[in-house]
Amino acid sequence: MYAVVKTGGKQYKVTPGDRLRVEKLDFPVGDTVTLDHVTMLSGEDGVVLNPESLTSVKVIAEVTRQSRHKKIRVFKMKRRKNYHRTQGHRQHYTELKIQDIQS
């Protein structure tokens, strides 16, 4: 059984036991999160895509970590104009462990 969940503007395919990194959620480590924006569910009955049928489906996950990704460098340059800028960025993320898919 797996589900497709939308969070942070992205969609993730999840199964129970998976660990995934999503955009930062404001929950402390060890807390339980309910992801209720499910766009697809696949199980023994087949694939369910109907939005009315998916309103009761929830994905239960546990927050295992709050951290930041590796630093990336943003470099801008215009040749022959003596213009160059360097900037760094580290995106915050939340690591979740999927516990259950309740349909």
Residue ranges per domain, the chain? 2-102
Q: Is the pLDDT of residue 101 over 90?
A: yes
* Region 75-94 average pLDDT: 98
CB neighbour class for 60 (10 Å; exposed up to 12, middle 13-18, buried from 19)? middle
H/E stretch holding 29 reads none
What count of residues does the chain have? 103
Confidence of residue 64 (pLDDT cuts 50, 70, 90): very high
Average pLDDT, the chain: 95
pLDDT at 79: 97
pLDDT per residue as tens digits for the range 5-45: 999 999 999 999 999 999 999 999 999 999 999 999 998 88
User: Which is it for the CA torsion 21, 25, 29, 34, positive or negative?
Assistant: negative
> In the structure encoding, which two tokens stand for residue 7, read together?
């969070």
Confidence of residue 98 (pLDDT cuts 50, 70, 90): very high
The three-state secondary structure class of 28 is coil
